[in-house]
Structure 1
Amino acid sequence: MKAFLLLPFVVAVVLAYKDVDDNFDFEAMVKDPVALKKNMNCFLDVEPCTPTMAKYRNHALEAVTDGCKECNKLETHTLRVLLQGLFDTYPDGYIAFKNKYDPTGTHFDALLKKLKNF
């Protein structure tokens, strides 16, 4: 019985991206238009990325196409915060992100539906 109680925790740990910094403060970053634009440009391959943001960018395509299936709860929340920040502050950047990571338009709506809960 105790093994079954630990199973959800083990699954959550296994599904998280282990190379990203889950302590990065995306909430603060999206409130700073200069930082948000710099990081948006990183995701769009317009500007170089910081080492931290490069790790997130490396998982962006997979997160969009599989609905953030490999993300833990914090990473899922982080993606929601990032996309909402882009949508609110840089709508053109949001559209560019959407087009870059879901050029066929087949995954983004499902991703947004999942992110709504985070």
Structure 2
Amino acid sequence: MKIIVLNIFILVLLYWSEGFPAPTYTTKYDNVNLDEVLASERLLTGYVNCLLDQGPCTPDGKELKQNLPDAIANDCRSCTERQREGADKVMHHIIDNRPDDWDKLEQKYKSDGSYKKQYLENKIMKSKVEGEKEQSQENEDADENDK
């Protein structure tokens, strides 16, 4: 009996410590062309309206809407790498190009705003680094011209 209890305890510890791989969301819709969706106001508006309960959902929109609360709550733990990359791409686009929609989505899905804050901080840091690289290159070019 002690062995059974010990085995169950070990299994629970493995599960909690992520010793078992986390189940992932379906990959059935991973081949949706995100660039095409983001380039089309009509398509993107359809997905946003679906997520906000303001319009009908395509099958992949329904799947996204169903999984979004869990993905937000668990930092996309059940996402595949491709899904994480796609989610980042879409969220960056919406933050940059449709901030009103982003605000509505954050309110609906009770996001604390931390993703947007982190993204914008990283964007500022990246632009600073790029600016420093450009300045450094200009200084090197000026030094070479002085010789």
Q: Under TM normalisation by the shorter chain, which class is it?
A: 0.7 to 0.9
Residue 39 of structure 2 is aligned to residue 39 of structure 1 = no
What does the per-residue CA deviation read over 1:1-48, in whole Å, with 9 as the maximum and x for residues that have no partner?
A: xxxxxxxxx94xx53212641111122211212211111111111101
Question: 1:31-89, CA deviations, whole angstroms, 9 ceiling, x for partnerless residues?
Answer: 21221111111111110101111111110111111110110111111111221221122
Unmatched 5+ stretches in structure 1: 1-9
- Tell me, yes or no, if structure 1 residue 75 matches structure 2 residue 77: no
User: Aligned residues: percent identity?
Assistant: 20
Check the 8 A contact 2:94/2:102 in 1, yes or no. yes
Alignment RMSD: 2.4
Residues 75 and 111 (structure 1 numbering): CA distance in 2 closer, same or farther, change over 3 Å? farther
Structure 1 partner of 2:114: 109
Contact 1:36–1:86 under 8 Å retained in 2: no
Query: Which is greater in Rg?
Result: 2
Partner of 1:85: 93
Matched to 1:109, the amino acid is S
Letter in 2 for 1:32: S
Question: How many residue pairs align between the two structures?
Answer: 101
| Aligned with 2:65 (options 48, 57, 65) | 57
Q: Secondary structure at the match of 1:15?
A: coil
1:46 aligned partner, one-letter code: Q
Amino acid at match of 2:54: V
Structure 1 segments of 4+ aligned residues over 3 angstroms from their partners: 110-114
* Separation (CA, whole Å) in 2 of partners of 1:15 and 1:86: 28
> Who is 1:7 aligned against?
none
| 1:113 positional shift | 4.8
Taking structure 1 as the reference length, what is the TM-score of the superposition?
A: 0.73
Give the structure, 1 or 2, with the largest relative contact order (CA under 8 Å, sep 6 or more): 1
Letter in 1 for 2:105: F
